[in-house]
Amino acid sequence: MRYREALNEALREELRRDETVMLMGEDIGVFNGAFKVTAGLLEEFGERRVRDTPISENTIVGMGVGAAMSGLRPVVELMTINFSLLAMDQIINSAAHIHYMFGGQARVPLVIRMPQGAGHQLGPTHSHCLEAMYLQVPGLLVATPSTPADAKGLLKAAIRDDNPVIFIEHESLYGQRGEVPEDPDHVVDFGSAAICREGDDVTIVGISRMALTAQRAAEALAAEHDIQAEVIDPRTLRPLDLDMICGSVRKTNRCVIVEEGWPHGGVGANLAALIQEQAFDWLDAPVARVTGADVPMPYSKPLEQIAFPHEPQVVTAVLSTFRDV
């Protein structure tokens, strides 16, 4: 099953299971979704539950918050993560803070789904990876699934959870195939990382699509350098399965973090700080980071291609942790 179909199935099953689940978003109905994730859902569930909205991101999210406070479990689709910036106010000032600000009296069981990522030449207003921005906000849960099974399991968990969830898909993953459990109650818990490949020599943490890049790099490292890398996909960035990551680092003594977003204040910057706080004595080399370039994403293909990480950069970074220190 493809990643996009796994998401579609998760939405379909949850819409069937729970009458209070409803979808809102731009072109998710008649148009079947900009990336076809919601294909066929309007047909099955009708306009009451699957709603095409005007182009009004801040208001759609804000209405999702209000509806979530009063009995619904809305799932809002934003066409890309860059457009979520228009809704940043409602996401942070409302969704993330309401439960705390009102002393626990109100809940916001809202899911905001959106894809991110470069590689399709969509230029500087449509291609960024902004998980690090959401990762910073207390009150939000942040998911970044990289496989169809996780996409389905995490989306179902997100819809059932009582917290606001930033659910970050990746444009390049929609067509990826993978096994997906048939069990309609297959959920993946937030805060449980996945070991994608076992190894003893170095820990590579890959975020979102970079979990796949990390795995390909690990195969190259095994074949060409006799290095066995352990690859971890955290799957959710908030909460974060730091225990599994630090456990792996204590075993391998080396760590490389791979993400597509910007380096400053990125996922890797944060994770490297946590690792050195928790596992400093086990490290044989500084934690290395491989990130997207520190520039707005350019349109031109050759520039775009060098502006986000590929396997060779991961291999180089891993080798750098084996340099004599």
Ligand X SMILES: Cc1ncc(C[n+]2csc(CCOP(=O)(O)OP(=O)(O)O)c2C)c(N)n1
DSSP assignment string, 270-299: HHHHHHHHHHGGG-SSPPEEE---SSPPPS
Stretch that binds ligand X, among 10-18, 78-86, 90-98, 208-216 (CB under 6 A): 78-86
Residue 86 interacts with ligand X (CB under 6 A): yes or no: yes
Q: 312 Cβ partners below 8 Å, 6+ apart?
A: 217
Residue 39 interacts with other proteins (CB under 8 A): yes or no: no
- Applying CB under 6 A, which of residues 10, 65, 79, 287 lies at the interface with ligand X? 79
Task: Report the alpha-carbon distance of residue 73 to residue 52 in Å, rounded.
Answer: 17
Residue 276 interacts with other proteins (CB under 8 A): yes or no: no
- Look up residue 301 and give its two tokens: 């293909």
- Applying CB under 8 A, which of residues 16, 18, 30, 198 lies at the interface with other proteins? 30
Q: Which of residues 39-68 bind ligand X (CB under 6 A)?
A: 55, 57
Binding residues for other proteins, total number by CB under 8 A: 44
Q: In which residue are the tokens 């496989």 written? A: 147
Partner interacting with residue 299 (select from ligand X, other proteins, none; CB below 5-8 Å by kind): other proteins
The phi, psi pair for 73, rounded to 5°, reads -120, 75
**231 to each of 116, 210, 251, 255, 297, how far by Cα in Å?**
22, 10, 13, 10, 27
Q: How near is the Cβ of 124 to ligand X at its closest, in Å?
A: 12
Which residues are known catalytic residues? 57, 126
Q: Which is nearer to other proteins, 78 or 165 (CB)?
A: 78
Partner interacting with residue 290 (select from other proteins, ligand X, none; CB below 5-8 Å by kind): other proteins
In single-letter form, the type of residue at position 307 comes to A
Cis, bond preceding 184 (omega within 30 deg of 0): no
Closest by alpha carbon to 95, among 165, 22, 189? 165
Residue 230 interacts with ligand X (CB under 6 A): yes or no: no
Residue 120 interacts with other proteins (CB under 8 A): yes or no: yes
User: How many other C-beta atoms lie within 10 A of the C-beta of residue 145?
Assistant: 28
Residue 101 interacts with other proteins (CB under 8 A): yes or no: no
Residue 88 interacts with ligand X (CB under 6 A): yes or no: no
- Applying CB under 8 A, which of residues 122, 195, 274, 285 lies at the interface with other proteins? 122
Q: Which is nearer to ligand X, 26 or 260 (CB)?
A: 26
Over 77-136, what HEC string results? ECCCHHHHHHHHHHHHHHHHCHHHHCCCCCCCCCEEEEEECCCCCCHHHCCCCCHHHHHC
Binding site for other proteins (CB under 8 A): 26-27, 30-32, 34, 52-59, 82-83, 86, 120-126, 263-264, 289-291, 293-296, 298-303, 306-307, 313, 316-317
Binding site for ligand X (CB under 6 A): 26, 55, 57, 79, 83, 86
